[in-house]
Structure 1
Amino acid sequence: MNHLLLILLITLQAIMDRIYKNVMSKVQEMSYVQRTLFKLGYDYKLEQIKRGYDTPLCNILFKKVKALLGGNIRMMLSGGAPLSPSTQRFMNVCFCCPIGQGYGLTETCGAGTITEVSDYSTGRVGAPLICCEVKLRDWPEGGYTTQDKPQPRGEILIGGPNVTMGYYKSEHLNEDYFVDEKGQRWFCTGDIGEIHPDGSLQIVDRKKDLVKLQAGEFVSLGKVESALKNCPLIENICAYANSDHDYVISFVVPNQKQLTALASKKGVEGTWEDICNHPAMEAEVLKAIKEAAASIKLQRFEIPVKVRLSPEPWTPETGLVTDAFKLKRKELKDHYLNDIERMYGGK
């Protein structure tokens, strides 16, 4: 018998997204009766969670899902990247425990904010920890100010004894990322936040992810990627935009099982690489992207209109993502340079 009681699971957003997609894929393979029961139980519990209640009897339906992580999880904490509302709600419902989010950076020793255990809202990262302070700074170029209504918005600055003194052997970067005010050192995160009336912080954008299109609209690449990652055909996605053009493109690592099954239905044959390079499959993934974008109400100019399917997964070994599986945009741009030129009408 296993006597180990696992109280807390700390994991990356990417892991939770993968669990969500795998479980929902299994649900689609269930019989009609099982699928209907799962959906009824899921929808009912989701509504009760939004009201602040639990459903002990309904939790029996999710016993097998809970068992995927041992069955003894009491709380989960997610970090590394924003957790999509749909994934967070799924984990709340199917693993029958609170899902918290934390926010911080290497330069702040990881400490920043964390949600309360009793906070079942989505998209927020909680209030500041006792070791630091958080404030917002206007960023007029992006349209964010502390005078915004209904909540103040701006670039997030974190100050306190947990903030590093600077970059080792890269002192030239310090002026761009650190400011000293009245004896306190502040780190300029580059993230755009919004502070709610209860003091909880929400990340709404990132300065480096914002691209101004030819027509003047600002597109948040991170927002687009986060919104589309839960599309069943997508394993990973990188959105890209060029200010000389008026539309967004994307690079996608497809879900091999899902895309292979779809290719078989469409009569597309060949190796995995052949399937990814087939125009019909690109069209199918674009169709799925548009459907997903419509369901989560992305703006028209935010939706990628062209896609390049990558048969190779992005791993730290390829140099296209970090050890925490965050996208390396410069490396991805260089890797897909020929595809970018093609999708933007080049040679």
Structure 2
Amino acid sequence: MAPLTMYSAVVPNSPDVAGEGKPRRSVLCPETLVENYAASYKSGTNVTTLYENFLEGIHRSGGKAFLGTRPIVNGVPQNYEWQSYVEVQERVKHFGAGLAHLGLAPKSHFGVFSINRAEWTMSELAGYQYNYTSVPLYDTLGVSAIEFIVNQTEMETIVASPDKAQILLHMKSSLPTLKNIVVMGAVDETLLTEGKELKIHVVAWTDVEANGKATPVEAVHPTADDIATICYTSGTTGTPKGAVLTHRNFVAPIASLHMMARHGKFFIPCSADTHVSYLPLAHVFERLCQSVMISGAARIGYYQGDTLKLLDDVAILQPTIFASVPRLFNRIYDKVLAGVKAKGGVAAFLFNRAYAAKKANLRKGIMTHAVWDKLVFGAIRARLGGKVKHIVSGSAPISPDVMDFLRICFSADVYEGYGQTEQAAGLCMSYRGDLTPGQVGPPQLCIEVKLKDLPAMNYTSQDKPFPRGEIMLRGNSVFNGYYKAPKQTAETLDAEGWASTGDVGQWDAQGRMVVIDRVKNIFKLAQGEYIAPEKIEAVLAKHYLVAQVFVHGDSLQATLVGVVIPDPDTLKLWANENGLGGKSYEELCRDAKVKTTLQKDLAVFGRESDLKGFEILKNIYVDSEQFSIENDLLTPTFKLKRHQAKEKYQAEIDRMYAEIA
């Protein structure tokens, strides 16, 4: 038998430490961790900052398109309009100078408060060029968190969209340091009037740009160790924590991906590539994605601002690169399979035959098929514009079934990334050509990783056949700490620079990381069984009738209960087949027959998916209101806010347990 291909290796001469496994690095750089990459814009130099990364993109672009926006005319979105890299470079320079005229000095903070749009990216790039520190405000963080961030950073200037500018003006009494609001797009007269009354300088983004153009200011460029951004994690409880990230922290994972690409394990985009920007720019995953796009001179097109219209934007934009989160990929997976089931007959027969043939080919490393790709999967590819070559999933674990589905239906390279805010999203990345599902690849080339024993959860670095434990990392992408929060920093970073993730991982036989659990989201039932609710939710969410699910249990109860949000489309199809076709979605969610069917089907589905007996839901509540950012049940990266969900459904939880008793 041929020896297994190894993806990571033990760090040479690493000491034995009780209660820990030995650190591992990618086999592509076992001796030295990657920090930066060679620049083409200036021979003999390396890209060490995000400003230099921008210069690299400008050089590689040859003046081609950079930022694209769909103008809305009389409520109708038009085709994308583009600004070139050279045009954006000029605007960024002028805007950065204009911010200086507003009182911004090198290393001082400025806020950005908006959904994704071109001015967001240009404001950030101006910060990189002039060595300002950006502090993004999440679009839906909530008033108390915004107040906390602005006051903790003593922010004087915030760049905001008109609707967010209005929010800031209403909050002025609790934001004593705020002096300037720079408004993206058109400035309503009422904003100017209200600003004057509150003694806030409200000014248009374009006016700041024009002022900088009229009176240039020489930029003070950052070094690798200067702070690029303070990125506040939304969290699920308590006040946000501001992760302090330097230019080195961001450039290191970009450099890692460049080196992986040189070895054929990843891709670096070029001016022919297009990325759709819709994941929140206040989160590091999208910002790292954009920085990688810029490093290769790719185009970035922004969505309209409504995720319900995202696929309309994608159809026009026709991206070649699609970076998203499992929540969206799961919905595509569910919709396609439900559609196949609904059609039945010849269409279902052809799909299933094509799917089985391509799945068998995947195990041989083949992702294309001369017949089935055009005959069966062409319409599915069109859902993402028809030109996607690379798909990147991040922010949360993705099911192996969905990974296979994406490769089969889109014939694209599919990568799963794993990282956190505290490492600028640079922890692990699966390799091109490795079609093994369920793993997130070896460590990025900029860090090393070890597993720390968790004896209370029965995970240790000595486990057989594979070592398990809390994922710890150290290296060039790891943050400096939390802003003005030494206690929280000490809880995450130890004296030797090792950062704890709160995630449980295991090394597989080929030195790749498999994320298997969360340290904090574990609870124990009354009989002593440890429960990982996220694992159960990931399984049950794959059922065709389920859109979302929240699993709950505690140490005073012997069983689990759950809140299930049915998929509106598939529930309607089921209702038509079961004599309930005349009812609305809300009426169906209240129907006893729906609840009984769902509970029974999920129990069977759970056992078929290898859930243990104590992991089966013994009672459920069916609700029609989806978990969302707007109702504060999801974080901006679409992770369930478990504490808030428990509070919202506490009455139903009590009733479900009473019914079981």
TM-score by length of 1: 0.93
**Secondary structure, aligned partner of 1:331:** helix
1:53 and 2:366 correspond = yes
Distance 1:221 1:259 in 2: 24
Distance 2:575 2:561 in 1: 22
1:276 and 2:589 correspond = yes
1:205 and 2:520 correspond = no
2:499 to 183, 187, 202: 187
* Counterpart amino acid of residue 290 in structure 1: A
Deviation at 1:145, TM superposition (A): 0.4
**Secondary structure, aligned partner of 1:318:** coil
* Deviation larger for 118-127 or 208-217: 208-217
Change (3 A) 1:261 1:56: closer
Residues 233, 288 of structure 1: 8 Å contact kept = no
**Secondary structure, aligned partner of 1:29:** helix
Distance 2:643 2:490 in 1: 23
* 2:644 alignment counterpart: 331
Distance 1:265 1:9 in 2: 36
Change (3 A) 1:45 1:270: closer
Q: Which has the higher contact order (CA 8 A, sep 6+)?
A: 2
- Gap runs ≥5 in structure 2: 1-79, 81-270, 274-318
* Counterpart amino acid of residue 151 in structure 1: F
Deviation at 1:74, TM superposition (A): 1.2
Residues 417, 428 of structure 2: 8 Å contact kept = yes
Residues 367, 407 of structure 2: 8 Å contact kept = no
Deviation at 1:270, TM superposition (A): 5.0
* Counterpart amino acid of residue 373 in structure 2: N
* Counterpart amino acid of residue 340 in structure 2: V
Distance 1:134 1:41 in 2: 40
* 1:159 alignment counterpart: 474
* 1:78 alignment counterpart: 393
* Counterpart amino acid of residue 159 in structure 1: R
* Deviation larger for 229-238 or 4-13: 4-13
* 2:125 alignment counterpart: none
Change (3 A) 1:274 1:62: closer
Change (3 A) 1:44 1:246: same
Deviation at 1:278, TM superposition (A): 2.6
Deviation at 1:291, TM superposition (A): 2.6
Distance 2:420 2:624 in 1: 32
* Counterpart amino acid of residue 461 in structure 2: T
Distance 1:29 1:221 in 2: 31
* Counterpart amino acid of residue 41 in structure 1: A
Change (3 A) 1:197 1:264: closer
1:303 and 2:610 correspond = no
1:218 to 530, 535, 539: 530
* 2:551 alignment counterpart: 239
* 2:539 alignment counterpart: 227
Distance 1:13 1:207 in 2: 21
Q: Tell me the matched-pair count.
A: 343
Larger radius of gyration: 2
**Secondary structure, aligned partner of 1:306:** strand
1:33 and 2:33 correspond = no
* 1:12 alignment counterpart: 325
Deviation at 1:154, TM superposition (A): 0.3
Give the alignment's Cα RMSD to 1 decimal: 2.0
Residues 551, 563 of structure 2: 8 Å contact kept = yes
Residues 108, 187 of structure 1: 8 Å contact kept = no
Distance 2:485 2:616 in 1: 37
* 1:127 alignment counterpart: 442
Residues 460, 469 of structure 2: 8 Å contact kept = yes
Residues 108, 158 of structure 1: 8 Å contact kept = no
Distance 1:32 1:158 in 2: 52
Deviation at 1:67, TM superposition (A): 1.4
Residues 471, 502 of structure 2: 8 Å contact kept = yes
* 2:465 alignment counterpart: 150
**Percent sequence identity over aligned pairs:** 31
**Secondary structure, aligned partner of 1:167:** coil
* Counterpart amino acid of residue 49 in structure 1: L
* Counterpart amino acid of residue 333 in structure 2: Y
